[in-house]
C-alpha cells in the first residue's frame, strides 16, 4: 500500500489560479489588489471605500467540540464547506484567521486546513504570510518603547513604573520571557515586565475589531497602559503612541485574499487565539465578505465554549453582526477521547466510550442554541469510523432535533461536504435565526463572568481572587462597566482543569486576575493556570521543519 500523501504534498500537487482570477470571481478588479506574488494579495483600502453595498450575505459560523489531541478539523471543515457551497453555485467567501508562528513551531502545526480542503499556498500562509503579525508585534512594542522612553525623559505624566500593565509581545512560544526585568544598566526605571505571544496582544484584538483607520487609531489611543502615582489611568494616547502605531498597521489592516485548492476565494486576516483572546478573524474582512458574497463561512477558535461564545458576545455585539447558522464539528475519534478512550486505542470501535463522549458535543450544541442560532453538526470522517459509531452519533443528534452530516472533505474536497452545504444554505436562508447575546451590556462585570461560567461552562460558581474583584470595581468606576468579558481559559475542558474532559458540571471556576482592554472593548478574565505566553513542548514541531535541497519548506502540517 502506498503511503498517504501529507497536506503539503497535496497542496503542491494542486495547481493554483492567478489571484486576479480569484478576485474576479467575487467582482474585484485587478486594480483592487496589491499582490504578494502570484497567489496572494491584499484588497486595497482605496477599493474597500468603493464597496458601498449593504451587508446581504448569510453568515455561517463553524465551531467545534472541546479540542483533543485526536483533532477535530474545524478549519478543514470550514474550507470544505465553502468549497461545497461553491460547487452548488453559491457565491461564497471563506473568512479565516492567520496562523501564528507559535503553534506552527510548537505543538499544533499549521492552520490552513488539511487534505483536499486547504487554503494555499499553505507554507507561505503559515510562515510570515503578508507580514501582518510582524506589523502587529512592532506596533505593540513601539508602545512599550514609548512608555519606557517617557519615564526615562522626566516622566511628565507621572506614570507609576510599578503600575505599568502594558507588556511586550513576540509571535513565538517562549516561556523564558513570561517574567523579565527591564531597564537595567542605568537605562531607565528598573521594573518587572514580561512578554505575551503576539496573538494575545490587545493590538491584535483592536486590529480585528476596528472597522476603519479612524476607528483603529481611536481604539489604539484608548489602550490603558497603567496608572499614574495618583492612581488615574494612563492611555496610549497620553504617551502620543496611537498615531505612529496606526502608521505601522496601515498596510496590514487591508484584508488578505487567497484561495482554496478548489479555487474558492478566501479572506485570511487577523489571528487572536480563543483561549486567551477573542478568537475571530477581522471585522473588516467579515464585513467586506458580507457585502460582496451571498454566503460567508467563518470560524472561531477552539471549542464553542470559547470561540463561538466570544464570536457572539464580543464580535457580533461590537460589529452588529447577526449569524444565520452555526456548524459544530466533531470526529468519532475525538468523541471517544472525551469518553475516556486512550489515543492509542482510538482505531478500535468503542460504542460505550463514544456515547459517553457525546455529552461534550451535546453541551456545545445546547450552548449555541442559547444564542438563538440554528445548529447543524458536521462529523469529520476518518477511515477507522464504523457504522455502529456513526449510527450512535446520528441517533444522539436526532434525539435533540439536530441533523448530523458525515463529511469526507479531507479526502474528497468540496464533493465530500455537499449534503452539509445543502442543509447549511437552506437553514441560513430560512430566517429562523433570532440571534441575541448571552447577557446585556448593563450587567455588572462580575455578573457577566458568572453568567458565562454558569451558562456555558456549567460551573456552580466563580471563585474571584480578591485583587480581581478590586480591579473589576475600579474598571466600573472608570466607566468600563458596560464592556463584555473575554474569558482566558484552557481550551481542553469546560472547567479550568485541562484534564477534566467530557461535560463536567458543578465545578468552581477560579478567576485569578482580570485585565482591562479598553481599546479592544472587553475585560479579560484569567482563569486557573492559563498562560498568555505559551511554551514549547518537549518535542516541538520545530524539530521537524526544514528547507530541502530544492529550497522547499518541509515538515509543516
Active site residue 410: yes
For Cα atoms 306, 307, 309, give the angle at the middle one, nearest 5 degrees: 65
Q: What DSSP string describes 336-355?
A: HHHTT--GGGTTS--HHHHH
Active site residue 108: yes
Q: Exposed, middle or buried, 523 (CB in 10 Å: 0-12/13-18/19+)?
A: buried
Q: What is the phi/psi pair of residue 264, to 5°?
A: -80, 125
**Rounded Cα gap, residues 526 and 468, in angstroms:** 9
DSSP symbol at 177 = G
For Cα atoms 111, 112, 118, give the angle at the middle one, nearest 5 degrees: 155
**Rounded Cα gap, residues 547 and 552, in angstroms:** 5
Given the residues 207, 253, 382, 522, select the one marked as catalytic.
382
**Rounded Cα gap, residues 165 and 193, in angstroms:** 8
Given the residues 40, 42, 58, 97, select the one marked as catalytic.
97
Given the residues 105, 295, 302, 464, select the one marked as catalytic.
302
For Cα atoms 527, 220, 111, give the angle at the middle one, nearest 5 degrees: 55
Active site residue 74: yes
**CB of 230 within 8 A of CB of 547?**
no
DSSP symbol at 289 = H
Q: Which residues have a Cβ under 8 Å from the Cβ of 414 and sit 6 or more positions away?
A: 80, 82, 83, 84, 85, 86, 87, 117, 262, 264, 421
Which residue in this structure is represented by grid cell 511628565?
A: 156
* Three-state secondary structure call for residue 306: helix
For Cα atoms 143, 149, 153, give the angle at the middle one, nearest 5 degrees: 150
Given the residues 410, 464, 475, 522, select the one marked as catalytic.
410
DSSP symbol at 170 = E
Active site residue 112: no
Given the residues 108, 228, 237, 403, select the one marked as catalytic.
108
Using alpha carbons, select from 469, 478, 379 the residue that is nearest to residue 420. 379
Q: Exposed, middle or buried, 89 (CB in 10 Å: 0-12/13-18/19+)?
A: exposed
* Three-state secondary structure call for residue 92: strand
Active site residue 317: no
Active site residue 378: no
Active site residue 219: no
Distance of CA 500 to the CA centre of its chain: 23
Given the residues 68, 75, 76, 260, select the one marked as catalytic.
76
Given the residues 205, 274, 304, 446, select the one marked as catalytic.
274
Given the residues 42, 55, 58, 74, select the one marked as catalytic.
74
Strand partners, 280: 300
DSSP symbol at 523 = E
Strand partners, 554: 546
| C-alpha cell, 175 | 516561556
Active site residue 195: no
Active site residues: 74, 76, 97, 108, 274, 302, 382, 410
Amino acid at each position: 500500500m502506498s503511503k498517504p500523501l501529507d497536506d503539503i504534498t497535496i497542496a503542491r500537487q494542486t495547481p493554483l489560479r492567478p489571484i486576479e482570477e480569484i478576485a474576479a470571481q467575487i467582482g474585484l478588479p485587478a486594480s483592487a489588489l496589491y499582490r504578494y506574488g502570484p497567489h496572494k494579495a491584499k484588497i486595497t483600502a482605496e477599493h474597500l471605500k468603493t464597496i458601498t453595498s449593504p451587508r446581504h450575505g448569510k453568515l455561517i459560523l463553524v465551531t467545534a467540540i472541546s479540542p483533543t489531541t485526536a483533532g477535530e478539523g474545524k478549519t478543514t471543515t470550514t474550507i470544505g464547506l465553502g468549497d461545497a457551497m461553491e460547487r452548488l453555485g453559491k457565491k461564497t467567501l471563506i473568512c479565516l484567521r492567520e496562523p501564528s508562528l507559535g503553534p506552527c513551531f510548537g505543538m499544533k502545526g499549521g492552520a490552513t486546513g488539511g487534505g483536499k480542503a486547504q487554503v494555499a499556498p499553505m507554507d507561505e500562509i503559515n510562515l510570515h504570510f503578508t507580514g501582518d503579525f510582524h506589523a502587529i508585534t512592532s506596533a505593540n512594542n513601539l508602545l512599550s518603547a514609548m512608555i519606557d522612553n517617557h519615564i526615562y525623559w522626566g516622566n511628565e505624566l507621572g506614570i507609576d513604573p510599578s503600575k505599568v500593565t502594558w507588556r511586550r509581545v513576540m509571535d513565538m512560544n517562549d516561556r523564558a520571557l513570561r517574567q523579565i526585568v527591564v531597564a537595567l544598566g542605568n537605562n531607565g526605571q528598573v521594573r518587572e515586565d514580561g512578554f505575551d505571544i503576539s496573538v494575545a496582544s490587545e493590538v491584535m484584538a483592536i486590529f480585528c475589531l476596528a472597522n476603519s483607520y479612524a476607528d483603529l487609531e481611536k481604539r489604539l489611543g484608548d489602550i490603558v497602559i497603567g496608572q499614574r502615582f495618583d492612581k488615574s489611568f494612563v492611555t496610549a494616547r497620553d504617551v502620543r503612541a496611537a498615531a505612529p502605531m496606526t502608521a505601522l498597521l496601515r498596510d496590514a489592516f487591508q484584508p488578505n485574499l487567497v484561495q482554496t485548492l478548489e479555487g474558492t476565494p478566501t479572506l485570511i486576516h487577523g489571528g487572536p487565539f480563543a483561549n486567551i483572546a477573542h478568537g475571530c478573524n477581522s471585522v473588516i474582512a467579515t464585513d467586506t465578505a458580507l457585502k460582496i458574497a451571498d454566503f460567508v463561512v467563518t470560524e472561531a477558535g477552539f471549542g464553542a465554549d470559547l470561540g463561538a461564545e466570544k464570536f457572539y458576545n464580543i464580535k457580533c455585539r461590537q460589529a452588529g453582526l447577526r449569524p444565520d447558522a452555526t456548524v459544530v464539528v466533531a470526529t468519532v475519534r475525538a468523541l471517544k477521547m472525551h469518553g475516556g478512550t486512550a489515543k492509542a486505542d482510538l482505531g478500535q470501535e468503542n460504542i460505550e466510550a463514544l456515547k459517553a463522549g457525546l455529552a461534550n458535543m451535546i453541551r456545545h450544541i445546547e450552548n449555541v442554541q442559547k444564542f438563538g442560532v440554528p445548529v447543524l453538526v458536521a462529523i469529520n470522517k476518518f477511515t477507522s469510523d464504523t457504522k455502529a459509531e456513526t449510527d450512535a452519533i446520528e441517533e444522539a443528534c436526532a434525539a435533540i432535533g439536530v441533523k448530523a452530516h458525515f463529511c469526507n472533505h479531507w479526502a474528497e474536497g468540496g464533493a465530500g461536504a455537499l449534503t452539509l452545504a445543502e442543509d447549511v444554505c437552506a437553514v441560513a436562508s430560512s430566517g429562523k435565526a433570532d440571534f441575541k447575546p448571552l447577557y446585556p451590556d448593563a450587567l455588572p462585570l462580575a455578573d457577566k463572568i458568572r453568567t458565562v461560567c454558569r451558562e456555558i461552562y456549567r460551573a456552580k460558581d466563580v471563585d474571584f481572587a480578591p485583587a480581581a474583584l478590586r480591579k473589576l470595581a475600579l474598571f466600573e468606576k472608570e466607566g468600563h462597566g458596560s464592556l463584555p468579558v473575554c474569558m482566558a481559559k484552557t481550551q481542553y475542558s469546560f472547567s479550568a482543569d485541562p484534564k477534566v474532559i467530557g461535560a463536567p458540571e458543578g465545578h468552581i471556576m477560579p478567576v485569578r486576575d482580570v485585565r482591562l482592554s479598553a481599546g479592544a472593548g472587553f475585560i479579560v478574565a484569567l482563569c486557573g493556570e492559563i498562560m498568555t505566553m505559551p511554551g514549547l513542548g518537549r518535542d516541538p514541531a520545530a524539530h521537524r521543519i526544514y528547507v530541502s535541497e530544492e529550497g522547499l519548506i518541509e515538515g509543516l502540517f
